[in-house]
Structure formats: C-alpha cells, structure tokens
Amino acid sequence: MKKLSSVAIYCSASNKVRPSFVDAAKRLGELLAQAGIRMIYGDGGIGLMAAAADGALSAGGEVLGVIPQFMVDAGWNNPRSTQTIVTQTMHERKATIVQETDAMVALPGGIGTFEELLECLTWKQLGLHTCPVVILNTDGYYDRLLDCLDYMVAEQMMRPIHREMFTVVSTPEEVIPALLSAPEWDPSTRRLAAI
C-alpha cells in the first residue's frame, strides 16, 4: 500500500453551499488528521476550504495553506492554518501544492476547483506527476462533469485509459482507502496523450 503523508484538497470558498457539502468537507479534514495525513489546500478562510481545515485542526491535524499574496492582501487567507506558504502568482500556488502533496482530492467547487482538478488530470496524463486523484462526488455534484469526460472518450478526444487517472467516491470515509488502493500510474503513458 502507498504511504500518504500529505493530501491536497480542492474545493469551494463559498459560504452559500448546501450543508451536506460543508459536512463532507469537515469530515474529510477530520479523517485526514486522524490518519496522520497533512492537509494541503488553498488557505481559504471561508466555505468548504475553511470547513475542511477546521475539521483537520479540530482533530489535531496539520494544515498547510498555499495562497498568493493578492489574496492575503484581500483578507481571504485562513489565519488558523498551522503553516502558510505565500506565493506571488496563482500558477506558483498551484505548482507548490502539487510539489508538496502525495495525492489530490476534489470536493464540490466552482470554476477554480474544476480548473485545478482538470489541470491535475492534464499533468497526470502528460506524466508530470503520478499522484492518485480522487473525486469526492458528494450528492452527485460531479455527475455532469463525469458525463462530459465519458463523452470526450466517446468522441475520441480522450483515450479510455485516461478515465483511469482518477477514482470517484461518494463519502469522505471512502477517500483515504481509494487513495491508498489507486493503481500506480505509469508516467510513460504520456505517449498516449495524443489521440
């Protein structure tokens, strides 16, 4: 089985989301902390980002926030994070998160979360990282995106093997087992990136 010391999560910074999304984010933070896994995230002080961080911190976990300076200047950071890395740009933020983590998990979120998830999958497709990726599909939030990815395969915009770059689960309790049991990704699969 894999050893996970750090897991990056991508999720919403909205406070207007349904309570089940908040509960799942907080529970995932708790589970990561209980397993001795450092949580890495975008250091947001509200929404699902804050809920996950609060869950991890309440269970005695370590939380690393990575945030660009302009967001700190706007007061969007979470002062409760146990460690913070301030970057100059969004690109540097995303690269730093990937460098620091052993795995990635996408929770419900907006276009920023989708962009981060799809970039992680693009980088994995190109062999730039081999980390397990899990989509926490709370209340079927990602069903339409998953349908779109299946459509990409059907239209030969993406190979069927690339549907294996990630695992989809429904509950926070399934996330860590899914990360640990994810098949090893061969970076030489990048040769299949072109259709």
Position 186 scores a pLDDT of 84
Distance of CA 155 to the CA centre of its chain: 27
Q: Tokens standing for 131?
A: 């980390």
Task: Go through the domains of the chain in sequence order and give each one's CATH number.
Answer: 6-181 (3.40.50.450)
CA 109 – CA 112 distance, rounded (Å):
7
Helix (H, G, I), strand (E, B) or coil at 158: coil
Q: pLDDT (tens digit, 0 to 9) for every residue of the chain, 195 residues total?
A: 468 999 999 999 999 999 999 999 999 999 999 999 999 999 999 999 999 999 999 999 999 999 999 999 999 999 999 999 999 999 999 999 999 999 999 999 999 999 999 999 999 999 999 999 999 999 999 999 999 999 999 999 999 999 999 999 999 999 999 999 999 888 887 776 665
Position 187 scores a pLDDT of 80
Residue 168: enclosing H or E segment and its boundaries?
A: strand 167-169
Q: Are 30 and 55 in contact (CB under 8 A)?
A: yes
Cα dihedral 117, 119, 123, 126 sign: positive
Of 40, 39, 50, 55, the residue nearest 12 (C-alpha): 50
For residues 100, 112, 109, 55, the Cα torsion angle rounded to the nearest 10 degrees is 30
Q: Are 88 and 158 in contact (CB under 8 A)?
A: no
Position 3 scores a pLDDT of 83
Output the pTM of the full model: 0.95
For residues 38, 99, 92, 190, the Cα torsion angle rounded to the nearest 10 degrees is -130
| Sheet strand arrangement including 63-68 | 83-87, 63-68, 38-41, 6-10, 103-106, 133-136, 167-169
Position 189 scores a pLDDT of 78
